[in-house]
Amino acid sequence: MELERAKRKIIEAHTIAISGHINPDGDSIGSLLALGLALKKLGKKIYMVSADGVPKLYRNLPGAARIRKKVPFPVDLAITVDCSNKEILGDTYAMFRKSKDILEIDHHEFRRPFGTIQVVDHKAAAVGELIYLLLKKLRIGIGARIGQNLLTSLVVETNSFRLPNVRAFTFRMCADLMRRGVDFYKLVDMVYWSKSNESAILTGICLSRCVFLKHGRLAWSIIKRRDFRKVGGKDEDVDAAADEIRSIKGVKIAVLFREKNKKLLRVSLRSKDNLNVASIAETFGGGGHFDVAGCSIPNSKKTITKLLSLAKKSL
């Protein structure tokens, strides 16, 4: 990690632009805002950039209103947070490459570096941890506003301390931020306690119908049009249901069918323990990641059976 060099470049720069990645999550937005608010304190001209704007969930974070979609002109120093390659900067990269330096602050294990300075540690639970270290190095005081953003990055990226990326340092940092007046409860309320009534009921219906095959290693469920008609709610209200099925003990592959209309089913596939569900999705003209994939299939018992038997074979 080139913390010392990063510090020097920041101190030398007059204009600094900071960007997270497209389709931003809490780590990207939280890190961007924490760093932006902090460097403003040094009297720099700061541009906070997010090509895709700020998701609704994070619009109340301190400083979020200052995030813009574009950088107006090249800056002395461009900083990217949570970006493992230049493509996920979106259109922002075209402007960033014109700046004197690009500082990458990131924690991805698989990367294609594109900057001139790297503050990278794949053992960091979130990029927020690296921002925290950098602010300490710069001796910038962390108040409640910066702290709230840093904590958001940690809480979201660790799924509220449920993922294996959590380390002792993560907790030490949390303890420190709590002392600085961060409203921890407000944050958790914002991130986790915001499921809609319809989403809760539809997810409930989905779980109540779960069918377990292959000694519980394969689990599937279905949400029908009439469920949506009865409960209300939209397709996106059941987005999390497939993950919930996967989290059941012993389940290695989870399959959720959603009736899009009389003729079409949307299929969400999830896996654990390195099982490839993208290949199942591909068979039906879909795609995705190794452990998170999807496709659309004809709405018939026959295709459901066909897809499930393919899933059985993958186990």
Q: Which residues bind a copy of itself (CB under 8 A)?
A: 155, 160-164, 166-172, 174-176, 178-179, 184-185, 188-189, 192-197, 200-201, 203-210, 212, 216, 219, 244-250, 272
Closer by beta carbon to a copy of itself, 174 or else 265: 174
Residue whose tokens read 């409930």: 204
- Rounded-to-integer distance, Cα 287 and Cα 202, Å: 25
Residue 247 CB, nearest approach to a copy of itself (Å): 5
Name the residue nearer to a copy of itself (CB basis): 175 or 236.
175
Closest alpha carbon to 235 in 294, 159, 277: 294
Q: How far is the CB of 249 from a copy of itself (least distance, A)?
A: 4
Q: What pairs with residue 256 in β-bridges? A: 221, 268
Distance CA 73, CA 87 (A): 19
State the minimum distance, in angstroms, from the CB of residue 136 to a copy of itself: 16
Least distance from a copy of itself to the Cβ atom of residue 77, Å = 33
For a copy of itself, give the closer residue by CB, 44 or 270: 270
Residue 239 beta carbon to a copy of itself: minimum distance, rounded to whole angstroms:
15
Q: Which residues contact 313 (CB under 8 A, 6 or more apart)?
A: none
Q: Please, which residues have CB within 8 angstroms of residue 71's CB and are 6 or more apart in sequence?
A: 17, 19, 47, 49, 78, 92, 95, 96
Q: Pick the closer one to a copy of itself by CB: 6 or 177.
A: 177
Confirm if 281 and 291 have CB atoms less than 8 A apart.
no
Nearer Cβ to a copy of itself (68/224):
224
Tokens of 69: 């979609």
| Residue among 219, 278, 35, 53 nearest 133 (CA) | 35
73 versus 192: smaller Cβ distance to a copy of itself: 192
Nearest to 64 by CA among 141, 149, 129, 130: 149
Q: How far is the CB of 188 from a copy of itself (least distance, A)?
A: 5
